[in-house]
Structure 1
Amino acid sequence: MRMEPLHRLLVFIALILLAPSIAWAQGADRAQVATGGGLPNFDARLGKEGRAVRQALTIPSAAPNRKAQVEKGMATAHQALATSLPGLTVDWHPVLGGPEVITTRGRFLTPASPGTDPELAVRGFLAAKAPLFGLSSSDVDNLITTAHYTNPAGNLSWVTLEQRLNGIPVFRGELRAAVTPDGQVATIASELAAGLDPALSGVPTMPPERAVQKAAQDIGVHLAAAPPLIERSSDGLKHRFTRGPFADDITADVVIFPLSVTEAVLAWRVLLW
């Protein structure tokens, strides 16, 4: 790998959506960006940018009243949980509409269950409270475990689950839970997307090569053509290109980009390093 001085390193992640001149970008620079200038971290679904994104995109239509049904199910589940758990606190995600942080004052989310595997404790809570997250039972079953460990002190375990739909990762679709040694779920932090259409699948209509060009353009790097393709997954969801003007190979992967309850689109996640 070509080595660059620390002050020239740039990691750039662009989420290329299927509309002209729209990209969600996350840039992380170290002291100084080599090209294109510094880029802030931001969420294009919020504020003025969010309204512009929604107006420009063609969002698949959900079944009539589906959004209202999912939101009603979430509210009903929240009320039921608050009744059974005095002191319950739920912070709601400003974009996704589902619970972002769930905790209680002076107690835990689930009763003690010594010897229970932490992952099973978390999955059991999710299965019982799936409507609170806008999920179906199959949605819960399809969550992929990406982390499961106990801290060095042995007084807390952490479980991280990743959301996928039809084999496609949901952008930032993760849930992380803390579990006590007695198997009690202590707190949950979530960015799971609620009410995703089970039929959403495939790849964006924009070719991955064009997505790479647009991502590079967003940081001031002009590519007359995308660098040569190195490999492509059999399902067409993952692509790796030669590095071109960058320090490492370029990747372009399909993700589901949630916009609100029941609303999401396919997008390319491009990594430039």
Structure 2
Amino acid sequence: MGRVTSRRRVLRVVDGVSSARPDTLAVEEPLEIRVNGQSLTVTMRTPGADFDLAAGFLVGEGVVRHSAQIAAIRYCAGATETGENTYNLLDVALAEGVAEPDASVRRNFYTTSSCGLCGKASLDAVRATAFWSVRDDALRLDPAALSRLPDRLRAAQRVFDRTGGLHAAGLFTADGALLCLREDVGRHNAVDKVVGWALRQDRLPLTATVLMVSGRASFELVQKAVMAGIPVLAAVSAPSSLAVDLAEEQGMTLVGFLRGASMNVYTGAHRLGLGAAPELVARG
């Protein structure tokens, strides 16, 4: 299995005084995902929970929704010149009768850990492929309980403590119990790893749960949460305008800038026992 961290020598400068010291970095390596032997995509990720990553990616793209739809996941021969397996190539064998990914999903190129792998170009596409509706999820949350999640997420980030360079995604129950946490250099990969864990544990759809992420809330993260049946997405930073549009369209609760006792509730305020925000009046 690939390493999660790597040690490097750095020159530390404090108040004009420099000194050499070792530093721990988060590893970033390419992972090629194949389906039934055919290349699907290559993503830059932090090694670890690769099977979850592949499974979660397939959920987000509408390829699978039950663990029985995956027959097997295995590492392929991706050997170096010395014959050592790089563990950067894996193949997902779909169960008999499961349709292979549409040609539009296949991405035979490298993507950075920051840009993600968004295969849906519009809200209509997400609406057409979502397996479960989150609109009618009866989950109700105490805002005070929600405000405790960032600290609980941070406390569970073991690799971040060593590197300071990883995003995290955590799946919580309504009362704040942590079900699953995954870290990665890419926030979208961290979410895929959580969703893939849930698929492989036969937990989909993830009703009555909260997905907490360490960065911003992009359209893609909302999409992945919707595809997994998660009714609440909370982030410590800002959402994008398209993320808010999609969350509102799907009936999801979207919270941003969740820091301490403060938060911005962009959609689905009813799940927190709050009234909807008054509409802004445009000024001419």
Tell me the TM-score range normalised by the shorter chain.
Answer: under 0.3
The TM-score, its normalising length taken from structure 2, stands at 0.22
The TM-score, its normalising length taken from structure 1, stands at 0.23
The structure number with the bigger radius of gyration is: 1
> 1 or 2, which has the higher helix percentage?
2
Which structure has more RCO (C-alpha within 8 Å, separation ≥ 6)?
1
